[in-house]
Amino acid sequence: MSREKRLKIKKVGVEHLEQYNQLLRYVFQVTDNDLHRIGWKERDIILAKSPVLEQADVLGWFDGEKLVSQVAVYPFQVRIFNAIYDMGGLTGVGTFPEYSNQGLMHKLLRQALANMRDKKQSISYLYPYSIPYYRRKGWEIISDKITFEVKDYQLPKNKQVFGEVERIDIENNDLKAVYERFAYQSHGAMLRNELAWDEYWRWDTDDLTAAIYYNENRQPDGYVLYWISDEVFHIKDMIFINEEARSGLWNFISAHFSMISKVVGNIYTDEPLAFLLEDGDIKETISPYYMARIVDLEQFITQYPFKPNTEKRVWTFTLDDPLLPWNQGTFTICIHPNGKGEVARVGERSKSRIDIQTMTTMLLSYKSPSYLHKIGRLSCSLETVKMLEDAISQQTLYFSDYF
């Protein structure tokens, strides 16, 4: 029997756990040294991935009984402006090289997206190992990561605050509580369930430490996750509810002055760190971080919080989607005065045109309608551009998770 006839798509279950792990390790080149560095053994990672296969929607191509291509979709939630969306977190994408260039992943992604639609997961996030590849499949960049380096002599001077910082175990419930408060006021953030927390910690070293800022009423208002090695203070992430918490956490970091030569960390939003420091001549590197795609436009718009207005706004456009037929065609979005939107499919073509990648990055406010129009990604009248600018909130998306 030919290979083409042997290949079949089916669900990847717990019984395929070792094959799932072998394919992941091969595609992403996870060596035994990588596992040893974070204190893991081969069996540890296999057991750690078991809940993924129980909770996630994992699809694969099988050549007989051999798993040769796979994709996993995690059941997550994110906050888009003030609305909570079910989100399909795409990960574990891989195909053995001898099975590549046969269209297997294209078909897997299309099926995974159809399953997301059935589950009302109208938005999908992923970490791109190839931005061009995922753009061709309908995803687009929605967030950035800024990596910074602050020398010891550039650390901020101590500021008076009314609270205090305490080092705690990373499993402490106060850490999860302050993140939840932060996520509910941060556009784009993951609302972490247990699976999301497990993925957030998965590749961290045993040296990772948490420090929480408690305000004068003993409420946790922020935290920094860090480790120190070779005189470098490494920041995995730092969040804060207010400026007092930010100052308190930087006081804590600066208190390590005699132990370190520099601080290296990541920022997942538009915090102007260089501007905030007295010596702002620091090194900052910006790079794209996560991508997203709208899975079903009609489902997505039903939940989407447009900005209210005194009158109804209407936009008719032709939408292109490289994978999904239900996102292809001409649609009319009607935005009611209260900010609620409705989508209807219409028969005629429209001079206004946009693709699903551009629609996603525009509605998640990574790029504005006027900018997308200027660079030719959004084809419409200037009146429509102005209407969209007035209808779509502009906030920098925050996303610090990795899965």
Q: Sign of torsion, CA 32 34 40 43?
A: negative
pLDDT in tens, 315-348: 999 999 999 999 999 999 999 999 999 999 998 8
Given this chain, do its domains 3-126 and 296-391 carry the same CATH topology?
no
Q: Is the pTM of this model over 0.85?
A: yes
**Among candidates 111, 50, 135, which has minimal Cα distance to 361?**
135
**Among candidates 125, 116, 58, which has minimal Cα distance to 89?**
125
Pick the CATH number of 146-290 from 3.40.50.1100, 3.30.420.40, 3.40.630.30, 3.90.1150.10: 3.40.630.30
Tokens of 30: 């996870």
Q: Report in angstroms the alpha-carbon separations of 359 from 33, 260, 353, 356.
A: 42, 45, 10, 5
pLDDT in tens, 91-150: 989 999 999 989 999 999 999 999 999 999 999 999 998 999 999 999 999 999 999 999
Q: Is 321 helix (H, G, I), strand (E, B) or coil?
A: coil
Pick the CATH number of 296-391 from 3.50.50.60, 3.20.20.70, 3.30.1050.10, 3.10.20.740: 3.30.1050.10
| d(C-alpha 45, C-alpha 224), whole Å | 26
When comparing pLDDT for 31 and 352, which is higher?
352
**Among candidates 270, 268, 222, which has minimal Cα distance to 245?**
222
List the alpha helices (DSSP H) in 123-172.
131-136
Q: Specify the CATH number of the domain 3-126.
A: 3.40.630.30
pLDDT of residue 41: 55
Q: Report in angstroms the alpha-carbon separations of 341 from 38, 207, 298, 318.
A: 47, 48, 9, 17
List the alpha helices (DSSP H) in 277-396.
297-303, 356-363, 369-374, 382-391
What amino acid is encoded at 274 in this protein?
A
Sorted by where each begins, the domain ranges of the chain are: 3-126, 146-290, 296-391
